Amino acid sequence: MNKRTGQLIQRKLNRLQSYVDELSPYLDSLVETYLATPGQRRIVERLAQVIIESSIDINSLLLSSVGQSVPDTARESFSRVHHLGIIDDYLLTRFRRTYIGFRNRIVHDYDMLDNQIVYHTARRLLEDARRYVAAITRYLAATEAEAEGKD
């Protein structure tokens, strides 16, 4: 991975972490409070969407940094990053089976969302996004150490 690409991925990763940090306080309240606050629900939906889309963007950058083409689908991006050993089976399953569909529902079916499901899914997304950030951070550190060892 060239230095410029690594820096770009790191910037996107930092932004992703900031979105996670921004979302967290909105999910500290009880579900009843969340359900009674429409503005809070819209904030949670948008931040969850951005977290998932940021992860997809990072996947594409990671894949192109190792000479692979950009994947055709978001789900494929997670499969290919998993195949490279960057994310584990758990994260692959969570993003492919849960969060990509969740993002699609937010974007396309926003008028028919079950707000209770949004609340619980977004709470799980927080922890999984943190795990994703940690996995990508480990990969970047290993890649950087490997590049320094070659110099």
Summarised one tens digit per residue, pLDDT across range 32-70 is 999 999 999 999 999 999 999 999 999 999 999 999 999
**Residue ranges of the chain with per-residue pLDDT less than 50:** none
* Domain count for the chain: 1
Q: Give the pLDDT confidence score for residue 72 in this predicted structure.
A: 95
Q: Give the pLDDT confidence score for residue 144 in this predicted structure.
A: 86
Contacts by 63-70, CB closer than 8 A, 24 or more apart? 64/5, 65/1, 65/2, 65/5, 65/6, 65/9, 66/1
Q: How far apart are CA 34 and CA 119, in angstroms?
A: 7
Which residues constitute the domain of residue 31?
A: 3-150
- CATH assignment of the domain containing 18: 1.20.120.580
**pTM for the full predicted model:** 0.94
